[in-house]
Amino acid sequence: MKPYLFVCCLFVGFLATAQPEKTLREHFRHPTLDYRMNVNQHALPLDSVEQDSYFDSFLAENGYGGMATNVSWQDYLDNDEYLMSFCRGVRTAKKKGYNLWLYDEQFYPSGMAGEKVLSDHPEWEAEGLLIFTKKMEGDDTLSISMPGALVKAQVLPVLENRIRFEAEQDVSAFFNDGCLKWKAPKGEWLLVLVTRDVLYKGFQAGTQREGTIFRYPSLMMPEVTQSFINHTHKRYEKAFGEKLGNYFTANFTDEPSLMALPFVRLGYGVYPWKQNLSDEFRKRYGYELQDKLTKIALDDSPEGAQLRFQYFQLVSDMISKNYFQTLKDYCHSQNFLSGGHLLLEESIIAHVPLYGNIMACYRAMDIPGIDVLTAIPSKTKRYLFSSRLASSAAELQGGFRVMYESCPIENDPPDYTEPPALYVKGVHNRAMVGGITDFNNYLKLEHENNSGRNAFNEYTARVVSLLCGGVRASKIAVYYPIETAWTKFKPADMWLKSWWGVQGADPAVQELDELLHDVTYLLTDNGWEFSFLDAQGLVEAKVKGNLLCHGKDLKWEMLILPSVQTIPEKAFHKIVEFVRHGGKLVVLGNTPVNSEKEFPSPWIQKQFNDLVGEPGVSLVDEFHPEKLAGLLENRLQRDITFDRYEGIMHCHRKIDGKDVFFVINDSGDSKSVQIGLPKGRQWELWNPQTGEIEEIPPAFQWTFDHYDGIILRNKK
């Protein structure tokens, strides 16, 4: 059964076809629990009276729709009394109609089951290859300490700026007690030192969570995921004595990753690794990974690019299959959905060492999600990228639901936890423009009383109820250039600069990351709806006339390639077909050179050169906002117009044949805006602030209050 068919078979209402018009209007005026925000509640009261009071006094009186919850972290999953109390609370909440998600970990990141997964198998701990490289000249002396077991220590002569890989020399004899001491002879040299070690100190696993530090297993190992499911989900299954889908909408897996991005500067690069990756590398590519490590680390030639492509393609295949797909399959066996969010979704730099390909991992989830660590609108720009990426992955799988965890820890000033609810509204507006449908949050809305919190939840629910279903009606698809990122991901001394930024990566990867965000901001700020499209989606797409179509309703007039140098052959075949039939292609920055098999690919190069003369192809050497904005204005027709775009954002969905626009004032100032809609149809304005619905002409003036949003929908 296809994933989207499974999803539609599980539930009615939120997940099935659109509601009848009369029901939709009633639910907009009086939002049901399905569309409201959930609270992350990790410790339900043990006492049944206190549980009922929490449901009736806190959730109900403040307008929440439910909760993401788990059994008490004390004696995690081992205390039968706690489990029975938890089951009683969940059953009661379900009877009251609340929307429930099962949070699947003790603290985070998911995959550990507290200490249970590694307790019997410490050898399953997450590991990485630690890779140190240094340029040296005659008489230079190096003394470098590296943790872990030695894998390789070599030096290579450099002659006329060319690395002589064929003349590499083994210097492992100079590595003793974790330290390499070596003096360079006359000439110029490149040294590469590789060790393997657990990813703990200096990584997310080594940070405190609720005062506890847990070691973390490798999600590339299928045994780890099975053990995790046995300790957590199956323990809940046994406690309830029935399928978990009878109570829970979805599973909430929290920041599972391969751990291979340092949180602090360590002085060397890190690649995710486990022995089964080396074993699979040998089977798939026919040679030993260890023999290729020097070229992976140092080689700028096509061979080095191909080796890095192969490495991270394998990383992506292993984690997406062995963790995310396995967890999803279990959830489906229990008649509920797999959901949650990942780590550092905001940067393609982080996608490579943590997931190989985050879109592949998102595709192996029913409700992919993002984490937002602030409630200040000005700090959330990178989340415009991550929310759009997750929602695009969901739609490519035939779904539309995307989860959002709000954890406001990055706020100013530091003397309070949250800003006013008006700021939070601005952040949520951006999230819903990006495609978010499900809110599981730590927000307290502490500056509001019960009435204010109720109003906030009603606003969110009204918007979500109108945006659920259908597809993003974007004319522009932006290619997700993960294959290019793989080829450029040399092991640099990189670290986490902030909760949404990485510092110190190879400059070529850093530039690609910045370009992706520049394109995201330009399109969003200038009122262009768009989706991200990965290689798999491009291969699956059909060319119909001058449109690139995917699934039932996704249709794009233009494809943007952001500095794409490596792209699978079948995907480029589809681009050629699209352009030949009149499709619009914008090639921004670097041009395609490599396929997944050939580095470089004569076929890719010839096909691209042949396309350059086509009328639909635009070459833009470097990102220039005004130039790209003008190109879009000249080549595409807008579905909705504004007399001003500064501070105005919108999304456009096509749901059951109707156009639905969500338009927001993305600023703390009021704005009066002239809005133009397609003529020849009757339009309505649905006001989520009040629940009121009114007819409007195709062209009208609207005054937005601070961070207000409106929904425009054609009646016929």
Amino acid letter, 383: Y
| The CATH classification of domain 641-714, taken from the options 3.40.50.720, 2.60.40.1180, 3.40.50.2000, 3.30.300.30 | 2.60.40.1180
Distance set, CA 316 to CA 219, 223, 260, 358 (Å)? 11, 17, 13, 8
Give the torsion sign (CA, 632, 526, 368, 111): positive
Task: Return d(Cα 263, Cα 499) in angstroms, integer.
Answer: 10
What's the pLDDT at 2?
39
| The CATH classification of domain 3-120+202-472, taken from the options 3.30.420.40, 3.20.20.80, 1.10.4030.10, 3.40.50.10780 | 3.20.20.80
- Torsion angle in degrees (nearest 10) through CA of 275, 280, 286, 288: -10
What's the pLDDT at 568?
98
For residue 307, how many C-alpha atoms fall within 13 Å in the half-sphere facing its CB? Answer: 22
Tell me how far apart the terminal alpha carbons of the chain are, to the nearest angstrom: 34
Q: What is the CATH topology of the domain spanning 476-635?
A: Rossmann fold (3.40.50)
Which residues in the chain show pLDDT less than 50?
1-17
What's the pLDDT at 500?
72
Residue intervals in the chain for CATH 2.60.40.1180: 641-714
Please provide the DSSP assignment of 304-362 as one string. Answer: HHHHHHHHHHHHHHHHIIIIIIHHHHHHHHTT-EEEEE-S-TT-HHHHHHHHS-HHHHH
What's the pLDDT at 150?
98
Residue intervals in the chain for CATH 3.20.20.80: 3-120+202-472
**pTM reported for the whole predicted model:** 0.96
* H or E element that contains 579: helix 569-580
Which residue shows structure tokens 């249709």?
Answer: 555
Give the ranges where 374-420 is alpha helix by DSSP (H). 381-396
Task: Return d(Cα 149, Cα 130) in angstroms, integer.
Answer: 10
What's the pLDDT at 8?
40
Which residue shows structure tokens 């990006």?
Answer: 434
Which residue shows structure tokens 């233009």?
Answer: 558
What letter would DSSP give residue 37? P
